[in-house]
Structure 1
Amino acid sequence: MREIIVCTFLTLDGVMQAPGGPDEDPESGFEQGGWQKPVSDDEVGAATADWYEGSDAMLLGRKTYDIFASYWPTADPANPFTARMNGMRKYVASRTLTSVEWQNSTLLEGDIVDAVRRLKDSDGGDIQVVGSGDLAQTLMRHGLVDEYRLTIHPVIVGSGKRLFADGAIPTALEPVSASTTKSGTIVAVYRTNGAPGHDSY
């Protein structure tokens, strides 16, 4: 069975919205877009690049798909990540798109939860959910996430879309790895591990 892996950049207060630029996602009046680059470093880039090596597909919501599809097809071919991003299989979840033009992209049809369950049951490698906060939360609510790969950056932005928003399903996590880069970013991998335990001191 294929696994669903959520990969995302977070601020210290848990915001995932618009790490890449001021105009990336201004929804709900978010004014802190582009918060990642000033607090990132080459170790973060190397760690996240490694995350892609064990996966052969991405699962994207419409907004993240639009951002990626407008950039990667014409990105610098000297960047080794360009070929990787363009070559990977992309599955796109959208209620509004009728077609997807970026190479190796497939628009999922019907109920997204059912479609992702079919993907998990199909042959192939792991599938990464990159960005795509609304999609990630839908998958979390239905118990479809197997692993989280997170970079937690040393900055607080105070508002914005959070990966673990109000209403997130309580879930125990098993740590796989955690390290800190020279910029103070925490690079952490966690496996989902059923319901959390409860005890008292």
Structure 2
Amino acid sequence: MTLSVENQILKSIYNHKRGKIFFPDNFNKYGSSTAVRQALNRLEDKGVLLRLARGIYLFPKKHKVLGILLPTIEDIAKAIAKRDKARIIPTGLYALNKLGFSTQVPVNVVYLTDGSPRKITIGSGSIKFKSAPTKLLAAKNDRMILIIQALKHMKKDNITLEVKKKINKILAEIPNEDIKHDIKLAPSWIRDLITKR
């Protein structure tokens, strides 16, 4: 007996761990886009899936006390980038937060990407993908590009001695060849700040 589109999708979902993010494209082989979308809607109604945003579903992980454990904005952004075979770079407040320069976790996160520019609303927050120059996405080291984005957000006049010390501590853990390569992607004042440390 041939399984229905819904049952084929369900079987596929159960082959993954809870917490996995799915897109309708993941199930193209089971039926037409309309059939897949309808099956996903039914699985959402049954509580198997949780819709995070249009076309983004979660196989929810549940905690006895906390209830459903939602993925982070970063998890969702990385899943989208993986699906689109795109590269992404966190910017602004989010870059500051990831480096430990800020405890504030922004609800609206902006990433630079070589994928399609778009904005996705997730709950009360959003993920915005902005087009970036290909050169910028050629960075070798994730932490190095985070430093560049964080400093750009802070602006030259706000760089304190404490910030410089924190940056030097992070730079000490990054291979020199990565620093030399990625420093070329930074504005001149950031290049000066990093090379004169």
Per the TM superposition, whether the score is higher than 0.5 is no
Higher relative contact order (CA 8 A, sep 6+): 1
TM-score by length of 2: 0.23
Name whichever structure is richer in helix by fraction.
2
Structure number with bigger Rg = 2
